[in-house]
Amino acid sequence: MSPARYGADIAGFLLLVTLLAGCGEEVAPPDLRQPAGWDDALRLPDAEDHDPAPDVVEVHLEAKAVEIEVIPGLTTEVWTYNGMLPGPTIRAKKGDRVVVKVQNHLPEATTVHWHGLRVPATMDGTEHMQKPIEPGEGFEYSFDVHDAGTFWYHPHIRSSPQVGAGLYGAFVVEEAAEEAQLGDDLLLVLSDIGIKDDGSLAPADESGWFGDYFGREGSTVLVNGKILPTIAARAGVPQRWRVVNAARAHYFRFAVPGQPLVQIGGDGGLLERPLPVDEVTLVPGERRELYMLPVEGESVVIPLLDANRFHLPAEEAPRDFMRLELVDEPPGHGAPPLPRRLTEIASIDTTGARGQAVEFMEQGSADGSVLGINGQTDGSLMLFAETNTVEVWTLTNTTNYDHPFHLHGFFFQVLDIDGAAPPVRAWHDTVNLVPGETVRIAIPFDDRAGMWMFHCHILDHADMGMMAMLHLMP
Ligand code: C2O
Ligand code: CU
């Protein structure tokens, strides 16, 4: 439906509403409004923009410890940006300049990495390109945002302890031009946290080697920092869920009972076309945009399913995750149908592309196995590539468990998994590696020379040594 046609419908509704109101009758307008307070339990504050220029967003982030109530009745000291869990949402338009002034009030050094954003290497927040921000010091990040989509930010030194203590936030880049109607935005930042009975945070090195090797999952699952929050919805009124997995190690898998879900976006903005799905899995670091046009039905608890990243014979029982409350209001109607084509994603020409092999592996040692990449288990592996070339990387996993591969600074397309092409074309910065499978990705490098990291996004694994560098040379 064209915007003009949609506008005419709205005008029709308004006329009808006026007429009905004239009759003194109490009828909810048959429009496309969400129920009152539909996202009250979940709305995340946007970071304040301190620059009045329309195409510059200046945000101030203070990394600091604060005491908050994550579990009702218990006080927990968490690490936050601006005292919030998650940190404030940074919002910009495609093409904007973004300036982020970071102050470190933590007891240890930190950096901020802009996961998925194509920033210059010097702004990427990794130790190879930036001096860590020491306690009491600050750093100013500034970069242009080139891609619309759902991204996030988090520290990149001692990532597992720092992210695990609460340092993460969403970063949304909106399309500069008018976009198709894809429903009302709802950000869902998924994470977990380990909290002991007395309210204190579980120690960052909990369970020692086991914690490192298996990846630390917190006992409490959070959505936007909340336990089991409620989303209100109305049949016929579409919602656009922007979902981020900001957990250290947790794979989030869920379905919405009784409601159809359509995936419309991934790590790097919209998919080429909508993809109806029965359920969704986000590995650490990944994003998904989902279009949910509720049908009439029951309010439900959305279960969190076991993603079984260890490939155990039996799945764990589902846990309560979120509530979807279908309000008792007349269904909305007139939602424009989803466009058959959401965006243009060019196929990458891989003729003559250089190939590289990346193997996520493990090595036995006297103190238990260690994880690594291509035989290096201390993060020292360095691959080389040239600016403005296309490479095809063959990713394998010879361990017994899943690992999410993440590349900094560049999007890639998945060409095939064990020879099978994915159902729709999309841009990724993270992809799950299942043991024994071969994932081929095509990476178009641009001119941003420098040192870029790639690693497992189970942050305990990255910290353990399942990480490496890509030196992109002019
Ligand atoms: Cu989201 Cu190297 O990280
Ligand atoms: Cu891993």
Cα 401 to ligand 2 centre (Å): 8
Ligand 1 contacts CB of residue 408 (under 6 A): yes
Give φ, ψ of 139 to 5 degrees: -150, 145
Pairing of strands 184-193, 239-245: parallel
Nearest ligand for residue 116 CA: 1
Give the count of beta carbons closer than 10 Å to the beta carbon of residue 134: 13
Cα 243 to ligand 2 centre (Å): 21
Nearest ligand for residue 468 CA: 1
Quote the pTM value.
Answer: 0.93
Q: Is 351 exposed, middle or buried (0-12, 13-18, 19+ CB in 10 A)?
A: exposed
The torsion angle over the Cα atoms of residues 122, 431, 377 and 386, rounded to 10 degrees, is -50
Ligand 1 atom closest to Cα of 284?
1
Which pLDDT score is estimated for 368?
A: 83
Ligand 1 contacts CB of residue 453 (under 6 A): yes
For residue 235, what is the DSSP state? T
Written as tens digits, the pLDDT of the chain (474 aa) is: 333 333 344 444 444 434 444 343 333 345 899 999 999 999 999 999 999 999 999 999 999 999 999 999 999 999 999 999 999 999 999 999 999 999 999 999 999 999 999 999 999 999 889 999 999 999 999 999 999 999 999 999 999 999 999 999 999 999 977 677 899 999 999 999 999 999 999 999 999 999 999 999 999 999 999 999 999 999 999 999 999 999 999 999 999 999 999 999 999 999 999 999 999 999 999 999 999 999 999 999 999 999 999 999 999 999 999 999 999 999 998 899 999 999 999 999 999 999 999 999 999 877 789 999 999 999 999 999 999 999 999 999 999 999 999 999 999 999 999 999 999 999 999 999 999 999 999 999 999 999 999 999 999 999 999 999 999 999
* Nearest residue to 63 (alpha-carbon basis) of 96, 111, 23, 120: 111
Ligand 1 atom closest to Cα of 126?
2
SS (H, E, C) 165-230: CCCCEEEEEECCCCCCCCCEEEEEEEEEECECCCCCECCCCCCHHHHHHHCCCCCEEEECCECCCE
Ligand 1 contacts CB of residue 113 (under 6 A): yes
Ligand 1 contacts CB of residue 406 (under 6 A): yes
For residue 86, the one-letter residue type is P
Which pLDDT score is estimated for 30?
A: 55
Cα 79 to ligand 2 centre (Å): 24
Ligand 1 atom closest to Cα of 453?
2
Cα 260 to ligand 1 centre (Å): 31
Ligand 1 atom closest to Cα of 285?
1
Cα 360 to ligand 2 centre (Å): 8
Nearest ligand for residue 462 CA: 2
Q: What is the DSSP string of 403-471?
A: EEEEESS--BEEEEETTBPPSS---BSEEEE-TT-EEEEEEE--S--EEEEEEESSHHHHHHT-EEEEE
Ligand 1 atom closest to Cα of 454?
2
Cα 343 to ligand 1 centre (Å): 26
* Nearest residue to 63 (alpha-carbon basis) of 108, 130, 98, 99: 108
List, as ranges, residues with CB under 5 A of the ion ligand 2. Answer: 403, 456, 458, 461
Ligand 1 atom closest to Cα of 115?
1
Nearest ligand for residue 156 CA: 1
Ligand 1 contacts CB of residue 156 (under 6 A): yes
Cα 316 to ligand 2 centre (Å): 20
In a 3-state reduction of DSSP, which class is residue 254? strand
Ligand 1 contacts CB of residue 115 (under 6 A): yes
In a 3-state reduction of DSSP, which class is residue 20? helix
Specify the residue for token string 């922007």: 242
Protein residue whose Cα sits closest to atom 3 of ligand 1:
115
d(C-alpha 4, C-alpha 10), whole Å: 10
Which pLDDT score is estimated for 367?
A: 77
Ligand 1 contacts CB of residue 158 (under 6 A): no
d(C-alpha 467, C-alpha 454), whole Å: 6
For the four alpha carbons of 104, 109, 115 and 118, in that order, the dihedral sign comes to positive
* Nearest residue to 151 (alpha-carbon basis) of 429, 390, 449: 429
d(C-alpha 283, C-alpha 296), whole Å: 31
d(C-alpha 406, C-alpha 457), whole Å: 6
Specify the residue for token string 């129920």: 35
Cα 404 to ligand 2 centre (Å): 6
Protein residue whose Cα sits closest to atom 1 of ligand 1:
115
HSE-CB for 330 with a 13 A CA cutoff: 9
d(C-alpha 37, C-alpha 233), whole Å: 10
Ligand 1 contacts CB of residue 285 (under 6 A): yes
For residue 362, the one-letter residue type is E
Pairing of strands 354-363, 370-373: antiparallel
